[in-house]
Amino acid sequence: MREVKTTFVVDSSKSPYAKLLPVPVENVRLEDSFWVPRQRILREVTLPSQHKLLEDTGRVFNFRRASGKERGDFKGLFFNDSDVYKWVEAVAFVLATAFDKDLHDGAKQVVLDIVASQDEDGYLNSYFTFERKKDRWTNLRDMHELYCAGHLAQAAIALFRATRDRNLLYAACRVADHIASIFGSQKRLGTPGHPEIEMALVELYRTTGNGAYLDLARFLIDERGKGLIGGGIVHIDHKPFRQLSTVDGHAVRSLYLNAGATDVYLETGDKSLWATLLRLWHNMTERRMYLTGGVGARHVGEAFGEDYELPNVTAYAETCAAIANVMWNWRMLLATGEARFADTMETALYNGVLSGISLDGREYFYVNPLADRGKRRRQAWFPCACCPPNIARLLASLSGYVYSLSNEGIWVNLYTQSTANLEVWGNSVVLVQRTDYPWNGEVEIILQPQMETAFSIFLRIPGWCRSAQVQVNEKAIAENGQPGTYLEVRRVWRPGDRLQLSFAMPVERVFCQPLVMENADRVALKRGPLVYCAEQVDNADCDVWDLVLPYDCQLESRWKSDLLNGVVVISGDALAAGTELGEQLYRVATDAPPKMHRVSFTAVPYYAWANREPGPMIVWIRSTTCPLNG
């Protein structure tokens, strides 16, 4: 193997235009009852089963075939390499925090198969081998070569950070060098039909210090929308990036592009990029995002719809798009330290992303509707299997999102029981979070700085919270936090200092902008960061689509340890519309008001839907301004 002369940097969190810097996943140990069981299932069930599926479907074979180790036809879709890379990345994040021999050995072998398939010139893609070599780089719009190269680099970086294994990283750099030798402003022009490599190149730049990678990322963004690849709106190639004002086209591509552009901003401070990113963020969150943080309303083109086009039953809301939403908002948070981005990230994470995987870790939703008649069920795999390993890598890396650091101190982004080892100005600080979040809003944070030090703790006061109280060592602090901001608590921190946060977490009814026609006169139920839904299996009194919540109905929440691996359910009395029309589509109203009868109902967290028997499900429940006891 050819040696690449590069010094690799494990801590690459020095982006000059980042307000916040990330904390490595291994520095935070989750100890909660919400995510830890998910990560255990991920390690014990999901990742081993995905490994088997990657083998069984020929995805790893394709690499062995490319290197000449095995013979036969290429199997599956031309971009299936990327599924392998995402799996390796997920395994790397797992290995960063806990050694797992089977996953380690499995990934090691897979990496050997990948690396062995690399060409002399650095090219690596198992599809474009043998008779297809001549077709390399001939169709940037459709063939996902740059996309796969990006996922390779991300896997390589994660694996290097977790295990210090440089094998895959060498390969990834050689791929990137190969690409940089072909594409560039003084070389061949082009841009990928499916953005993703932009993020990877910036991270490779952070890891290697090689400015050519950053230049290439910037180049690929700058060249979009110039007609170079014949792309359209689906590829977000219909106009130059800086001219965009609405999120359009393929939702995953759109948000991967935005995430990559944010990465470039973090390194370059390019103001016109930033202005574009803010415009797009406003458009998405104010007009084109589901309550769950899911995005991409349309099945056709897996695309964003028009403003306020957010249908429930026919929602696409691909799991990968919610993941991309987390990735983008994470980077916007790093750029600004503004809590609105953390809020959006949290919303997507607990709802639109988490609904993508079954409680047993074996099945996945590609599409995440907000209402259903019992037809949609998760599946064990897909021919285009982008979502399963994507959700795996996000769940595996979750501990990296909990805290950030800045020159001023420590930022608490997410609340979850955990122990973190952080470093503030060379001073080691252990942070212990004790909480049952997301089931209640009481959080205790105990600080153990190595030495007494003055610095700030920035506490995210969640946007969903209407009343937050913060105490330091049992004393309320003067200024309580404004929801949707970070509350700065600056003082000299001593070992054993305790922050006590209390976020009121009542059941909330949420209204939607009535320009979303389907949601006018409906309410959704939320509690803390969780969006709820009514599933038929919990509701014997009426079809959940006929549930009508009067504005004054009492909504109770209650912990049920035996349900759906333990959830807080919401229940109450409501009405049921007597609108049973049978086979009639339209019916002339009689003069009497429609009959309603009183029913009890139960709602469960949206992320947990479709884990029991199939039946109607609904997030946006009909409502009435009439009182229940009218």
518 binds a second copy (CB under 8 A): yes
Beta bridge partners of 298: 303
Angle, CA 396 vertex, CA 177 and CA 197 arms, to 5°: 25
Please pick, among 196, 198, 203, 302, the residue that the annotation labels catalytic: 302
CB of 328 or CB of 545, closer to a second copy: 545
CB of 72 or CB of 630, closer to a second copy: 630
Contacts with a second copy by CB under 8 A: the residue count is 61
CB of 139 or CB of 513, closer to a second copy: 513
Write down the least CB distance from residue 301 to a second copy, Å: 9
Site string for a second copy, 466-495 (x = CB under 8 A): x-----------------------------
Burial of 434 (0-12, 13-18, 19+ CB in 10 A): middle
286 binds a second copy (CB under 8 A): yes
Of the residues 24, 150, 311, 462, which one makes contact with a second copy according to CB under 8 A: 311
516 binds a second copy (CB under 8 A): yes
376 binds a second copy (CB under 8 A): no
Site string for a second copy, 111-150 (x = CB under 8 A): ----------------------------------------
Name the nearest CA neighbour of 45 among 102, 121, 113. 102
Length of the chain: 630
Of the residues 579, 612, 614, 615, which one makes contact with a second copy according to CB under 8 A: 579
Long-range contacts of 432-436 (CB under 8 A, 24+ apart): 433/402, 435/32, 436/32, 436/33
- 223 is annotated as an active-site residue: no
508 binds a second copy (CB under 8 A): yes
Task: Give the DSSP H/E element, type plus range, for residue 488.
Answer: strand 485-493
CB of 119 or CB of 309, closer to a second copy: 309
- Please choose, out of 191-199, 282-290, 384-392, 472-480, the segment that lies near a second copy by the rule CB under 8 A: 282-290
426 binds a second copy (CB under 8 A): no
Distance, in Å, from the CA atom of 96 to the CA atom of 161, rounded to the nearest integer, reads: 7
Site string for a second copy, 343-362 (x = CB under 8 A): --------------------
- Please choose, out of 141-149, 496-504, 514-522, 602-610, the segment that lies near a second copy by the rule CB under 8 A: 514-522
458 binds a second copy (CB under 8 A): no
* DSSP 8-class letter at 281: H
- Please choose, out of 84-92, 301-309, 415-423, 451-459, the segment that lies near a second copy by the rule CB under 8 A: 301-309
* DSSP 8-class letter at 360: T
C-alpha pair distances (Å), 264 with each of 174, 388, 492: 21, 27, 36
Write down the least CB distance from residue 105 to a second copy, Å: 46
Distance, in Å, from the CA atom of 382 to the CA atom of 379, rounded to the nearest integer, reads: 7
Alpha helices, DSSP H, located in 242-338: 251-268, 271-287, 319-336
Token digits of residue 396: 């595996």
586 binds a second copy (CB under 8 A): yes
Long-range contacts of 222-230 (CB under 8 A, 24+ apart): 223/189, 223/190, 223/191, 224/191, 224/257, 226/189, 226/191, 228/140, 228/189, 228/190, 228/191, 229/140, 229/141, 229/190, 229/191, 229/192, 229/193, 230/141
Q: Give the type of residue at 567.
A: V
Write down the least CB distance from residue 623 to a second copy, Å: 8
- 320 is annotated as an active-site residue: no
Name the nearest CA neighbour of 470 among 415, 404, 508. 415
Q: Would you name the residues annotated as active-site residues? A: 302, 386
Residues that bind a second copy (CB under 8 A): 282, 285-287, 289, 291, 300, 305-306, 308-309, 311-314, 371, 373, 464, 466, 508-518, 520-524, 526, 545-546, 548, 551-552, 577, 579, 581, 583-589, 593-594, 596, 620, 622, 624-627, 630
